[in-house]
């Protein structure tokens, strides 16, 4: 053993941690991961003996935890339905991830969230099955349009063959505000959902692209964000995908969809470019973001109908019922208790007034991944199959 290694080993061996007036080496403290009980309850634990208060933030709801004599804070939930849940610990005033759980959803800026799965019986569509799986690849690139370095991810389906006769259809799937390009696979488990739907014969084998959804290098929300994002997607990301993967390049085999901010972006890109995308979907779309930087936003807010035609007319200057011949599916879904339901209804009223066809889906739930995973499960089997 070298002197340097011996010094490091001695440091860990002599480091101590006060617990019940005794000390134990930090190196040998057992982990305290959350556990799912057979009845669907979840037990959470956090070792923080010097904290004065610890709260569990479970899917946005704060719950106080109780400290035991060992300095461990504990909480066991009521019975919960099979699903994937997000959580953090609020330790006094510090919000943290669970240090003993590596299943997380990173954030674009901030802490992110820990995740925990309650399995279903039979397994839910987002649970990993014993079957072939697709491959997820990370791509780094410089965006000259936006002015930063960023990334996108590409999912290729099980059995992907770059030499097969027919090129693969492609779905561009966009994240919401606060998240990054990993969100749909980390929290939405979109790659697992596609694995299962494709293997079960419920969806066409397809390629999925998840890219960073911010059109400004300095902020997540800006007046130029939507336009810059669309330009970068179409002129930087899409050409890279079509050069490196065996994907179809006609609108009938291209789809774009997203959630919240990403839903508004997907519909913005899809309806402004029906010559590129024939399949368009928005899940809990943040249509309210269309007003950012809009010269007609003030007038739209004063519109007594509540529809906001000023904003929509500006964002979709060439949109009319002729698009019905180009778009094979325009899917608009929202949670029945989502705070964005009203703006989704406004946007659909505006579409109806223009005689533009769309499929309206209202899913039980709020503005959460529980709704969006189910939206994706329902949306994907319709792609590249429906007849007009």
Give 344-372 as a DSSP string: HHHHHHHHHHTT---EEEEESS-SSHHHH
Return the C-alpha torsion angle 98, 104, 109, 110, nearest 10.
-10
Q: Are 148 and 32 part of one and the same domain?
A: no
Instruction: Tell me the residue length of the chain.
Output: 388
The crossing angle, in degrees rounded to 10, of helices 261-272 and 225-232 is: 60
Q: Are 288 and 220 part of one and the same domain?
A: yes
pLDDT of 110: 85
Q: How many helices (H) and strands (E) does the chain have?
A: 10, 20
Q: CB burial class (10 A; 0-12, 13-18, 19+) of residue 99? A: middle
Single residue among 86, 118, 150 that ends a domain in this structure? 118
Which residues sit opposite 132 in a β-bridge?
A: none
pTM: 0.88
Q: How many CA atoms lie within 13 A of 151 on its CB side?
A: 13
Q: Are 213 and 341 part of one and the same domain?
A: yes
What is the maximum alpha-carbon separation in the chain?
A: 79
Backbone φ/ψ region at 92: left (φ over 0), alpha (ψ -120 to 50), beta = left
Q: Are 231 and 358 part of one and the same domain?
A: yes
| H or E element, residue 186 | helix 183-186
Backbone φ/ψ region at 71: left (φ over 0), alpha (ψ -120 to 50), beta = left
The DSSP symbol for 24 reads E
Decide: 266 and 282 in contact? Cβ < 8 Å. yes
State mean pLDDT over 183-191: 97
Tell me if 129 is assigned to some domain.
Answer: no
Tell me if 387 is assigned to some domain.
Answer: no
Tell me if 6 is assigned to some domain.
Answer: no
Q: Are 114 and 140 part of one and the same domain?
A: no
Q: Are 98 and 226 part of one and the same domain?
A: no
Tell me if 200 is assigned to some domain.
Answer: yes
- Cα(68)–Cα(386) distance, integer angstroms: 58
Other residues' Cβ atoms within 10 Å of the Cβ of residue 120: 14
In degrees, rounded to 5, the angle at the alpha carbon of residue 133 between the alpha carbons of residues 130 and 136 is 145
- Tokens at 326, concatenated: 């180009």
State mean pLDDT over 300-315: 62
| H or E element, residue 196 | helix 190-199
User: pLDDT: is 198 or 295 the higher one?
Assistant: 198
Q: Are 112 and 173 part of one and the same domain?
A: no
Which residues fall within 8 angstroms of residue 97, CB to CB, at 6 or more apart? Answer: 88, 89, 104, 111, 112, 113, 114
Backbone φ/ψ region at 35: left (φ over 0), alpha (ψ -120 to 50), beta = beta
Q: Are 59 and 87 part of one and the same domain?
A: yes
Q: Are 182 and 85 part of one and the same domain?
A: no
Tell me if 169 is assigned to some domain.
Answer: yes
Tell me if 126 is assigned to some domain.
Answer: no
Number of domains in the chain: 2
pLDDT, the chain, mean = 90
pLDDT of 327: 97
- Cα(79)–Cα(134) distance, integer angstroms: 33
Per-residue pLDDT for 3 more than 80? no
Other residues' Cβ atoms within 10 Å of the Cβ of residue 202: 12
Per-residue pLDDT for 59 more than 60? yes
pLDDT bin (cut points 50, 70, 90) of residue 308 is: low
For tokens 């799912």, name the residue: 36
Single residue among 89, 118, 147 that ends a domain in this structure? 118
- Cα(267)–Cα(281) distance, integer angstroms: 7
Single residue among 90, 118, 146 that ends a domain in this structure? 118
pLDDT of 15: 42
Tell me if 112 is assigned to some domain.
Answer: yes
State mean pLDDT over 256-263: 98
pLDDT of 5: 42
Q: Are 267 and 302 part of one and the same domain?
A: yes
pLDDT of 30: 85
Tell me if 155 is assigned to some domain.
Answer: yes
- Look at residues 127, 107, 130 and name the one whose alpha carbon lies nearest to residue 119: 127
Other residues' Cβ atoms within 10 Å of the Cβ of residue 139: 16
pLDDT bin (cut points 50, 70, 90) of residue 310 is: confident
Q: What SS3 state is found at 25? A: strand
Q: Are 55 and 193 part of one and the same domain?
A: no
Domain that holds residue 85: 17-118
CATH number at residue 91: 2.60.40.10
CATH number at residue 273: 3.40.50.1820
Backbone φ/ψ region at 13: left (φ over 0), alpha (ψ -120 to 50), beta = alpha
Q: Are 217 and 283 part of one and the same domain?
A: yes
pLDDT bin (cut points 50, 70, 90) of residue 273 is: very high
């Amino acid at each position: 053993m070298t002197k340097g290694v011996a010094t490091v080993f001695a440091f860990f061996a002599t480091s101590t941690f006060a617990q019940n007036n005794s000390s134990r080496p930090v190196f040998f403290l057992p982990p305290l991961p959350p556990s799912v009980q057979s009845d669907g309850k979840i037990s959470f634990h956090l070792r923080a003996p010097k904290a004065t208060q610890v709260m569990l933030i479970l899917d946005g709801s704060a719950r106080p935890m109780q400290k035991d004599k060992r300095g461990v804070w504990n909480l066991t939930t009521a019975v919960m339905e099979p699903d994937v849940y997000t959580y953090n610990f609020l330790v006094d005033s510090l919000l943290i991830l669970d240090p003993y759980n590596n299943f997380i959803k990173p954030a674009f800026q901030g802490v992110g969230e820990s995740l925990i799965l309650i399995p279903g019986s039979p397994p839910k569509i987002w649970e990993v099955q014993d079957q072939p799986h697709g491959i997820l690849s990370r791509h780094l690139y410089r965006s000259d349009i936006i002015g930063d370095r960023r990334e996108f991810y590409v999912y290729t389906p099980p059995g992907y063959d770059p030499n097969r006769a027919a090129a693969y259809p492609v779905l561009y799937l966009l994240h919401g505000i606060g998240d990054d390009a990993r969100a749909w696979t980390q929290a939405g488990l979109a790659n697992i959902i596609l694995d299962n739907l494709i293997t079960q014969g419920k969806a066409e084998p397809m390629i999925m692209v998840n890219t960073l959804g911010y059109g400004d290098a300095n902020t997540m929300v800006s007046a130029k964000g939507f336009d810059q994002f669309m330009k970068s997607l179409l002129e930087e990301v899409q050409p890279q995908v079509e050069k490196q993967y065996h994907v179809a390049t006609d609108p009938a085999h291209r789809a774009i969809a997203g959630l919240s901010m990403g839903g508004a972006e997907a519909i913005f890109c899809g309806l402004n470019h029906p010559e590129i995308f024939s399949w368009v979907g928005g899940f809990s779309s943040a249509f309210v973001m269309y007003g950012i930087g809009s010269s007609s936003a003030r007038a739209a807010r004063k519109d007594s109908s509540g529809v906001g035609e000023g904003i929509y007319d500006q964002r979709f200057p060439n949109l009319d019922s002729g698009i019905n011949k180009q778009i094979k599916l325009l899917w608009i879904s929202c949670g029945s208790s989502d705070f964005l339901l009203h703006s989704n209804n406004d946007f659909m009223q505006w579409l109806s007034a223009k005689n533009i066809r769309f499929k309206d889906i209202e899913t039980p739930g709020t503005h959460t991944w529980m709704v969006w995973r189910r939206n994706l499960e329902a949306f994907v089997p319709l792609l590249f199959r429906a007849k007009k």
